[in-house]
Structure 1
Amino acid sequence: MQVLELKSGDLLFIQASTEKLSRLIAASTQADMNQSNYTHVALVKRQNGNYFVLHVAPEYGCVRQTLTFFLADHPKQAIDVYRLTATKIDFEQVITRAESLLGQPYNHSFIKDQPGYYCSEFICEVFKPAAIFHEQPMCFGSQQTILPAWHAYYQRLGLPIPVGQLGSSPNSLIKENVPQNLAWLGRLRR
């Protein structure tokens, strides 16, 4: 399946898909057109020679899946592996924190005080003691604009667009932490 030797605590960054929400997130959060455009992030757990993925998805909420099942959910998307290089991270504690959140719902609003988590919010939360990832003011379009699809999205939710509120995205985690805290290991092969 994969060529890379994964470790607990590795992060899987998934590139944009053709799915509507993925395309919308990609269009809103890509900071550099020369970089990969990620719309999902997940955490690896290695246990007894088996690989599991802890993450949050709209259809599952906070979930633990086998790597095989996770890859089947993302059949055509490129998945890049990054490893945190900070030496003072207790990855057992990170995994324990992640597993304590399993079963929480997906936070469709991307607003912190709403129930549940979205993918990069989950990663920020589980790594909080290590102070690796930091939230940034959220954007919903380029150059201070809001893409029209976000207006319709939040109208359906009955909530205001949280533009400028603190939050995260897979792209913001990458932008903030490469090369100082995250090292690219390569792409998973199927």
Structure 2
Amino acid sequence: MNNHFTSILKNGDLLFVHCNDEQFSQVIAQSTAEFSTKENLTRNYTHVAILEKKLSELFVLHAVPKKGCIRQPLIEFLKENDNVDVYRLKKEKIDFKNVIRHAKKLLGNPYNDSFIAEQPGYYCSEFICALFSDIFIQTPMTFGSKNTILPEWHNYYKNLNLPIPNGLPGSSPNSLIKQNLTNFVTSIPPFFS
């Protein structure tokens, strides 16, 4: 791994993953983007994780479908996510060792595929909000542009046998970015891993 590049990264950095070609990623991007045009979907984020820097080792803690809340080496994360931007919280005096300790206590929880706070587990941005509850605020969730709901979500929630939580408090990677509480640090190029 490139030592110069990894020296830029800090404990507690947030890793935002761009929309990819997978259908679920596309649906999330269309639902949470400020503008849902085909041209800007690749610039929208559909996943977020937190970085743990432990001496020279780098790990990623996050919530993912099928695996739940996990910790994995950064190199493994980058093999699965090849278009990642690094952001750093603007707020000073955050005890990131304590934040990472808290994140480790959440490991093993299931993935919250309902995106409903009362349901067990965590989805990716819910995991991050749990770590920074005094920084990020929840916002009304959207499942389509301009107060609409995409057809894919109707089928998704029908299979879960749950109502669509449109407008309920929640989060998404894009809603975290829109709060303007982070600074862009760098992009991790796809060839990095």
TM range, smaller chain: over 0.9
Match of 2:153 among 150, 154, 166: 150
Picking from 100, 104, 111, the partner of 1:99 is: 104
Pairing 1:50–2:53 present: no
The 1-side partners of 2:76 and 2:91 are apart by 29
1:19 paired residue number: 22
| Secondary structure, aligned partner of 1:40 | strand
Q: What TM-score does the superposition give when structure 1 sets the normalisation length?
A: 0.92
In 1: Cα distance, 2:93 partner to 2:149 partner: 39
Instruction: Identify if the C-alpha distance between structure 1 residues 112 and 26 changes in structure 2 by more than 3 Å, giving closer, same or farther.
Output: same
**Distance verdict in 2 for CA 1:32–1:147, change over 3 Å:** closer
Matching residue of 1:124 = 129
- Post-superposition shift, 1:32? 4.5
Residues 116-158 of structure 1, C-alpha deviation per residue, up to 9 Å, x if partnerless?
A: 0000000000112xx2111001110001100010000000000
Matched with 2:184 is: 184
Q: Would you tell me which structure has more helix in proportion to its own residues?
A: 2
User: What is the alpha-carbon distance in structure 2 between the residues aligned to residue 111 and residue 91 of structure 1?
Assistant: 27
Q: Percent identity?
A: 53
Unaligned runs of 5+ in 1: none
Amino acid at match of 1:99: K
SS in 2 for 1:111: coil
Please list, as runs of the form range in 1=range in 2, the aligned pairs for 1:17-96 lying within 5 A after superposition: 17-32=20-35, 36-74=43-81, 77-96=82-101
Could you list the runs of 5+ residues in structure 2 that have no partner in the other structure? none
TM-score scaled to structure 2, two decimals?
0.91
Contact 2:14 2:86 survives alignment (8 Å) = yes
Q: Distance in 1 between matches of 2:22 and 2:120?
A: 24
Aligned Cα RMSD in Å? 1.4
Distance 2:115 2:52 in 1: 25
Render the CA deviation track for 1:26-72: whole Å, top value 9, x for unaligned.
00001156693000000000012110000010021000000011111
Pairwise mapping of residues 164-175 of structure 1 onto structure 2 (< 5 A)?
164-175=167-178
Q: Which amino acid aligns with 2:186?
A: G
Matched residues in 2 for 1:137 and 1:163: separation?
A: 7
Aligned residues: 183
The one-letter code matched in structure 2 to 1:94 is V
> Which whole-Å CA distance do the structure 1 matches of 2:35 and 2:94 have between them?
28
Matched AA of 2:184: W
Supply the distance in 2 between the matched residues of 1:185 and 1:137 (Cα, whole angstroms).
Answer: 27
| AA aligned opposite 1:59 | K
Q: 2-side partners of 1:48 and 1:87: how far apart?
A: 21
Cα separation, 2, equivalents of 1:91 and 1:32: 33
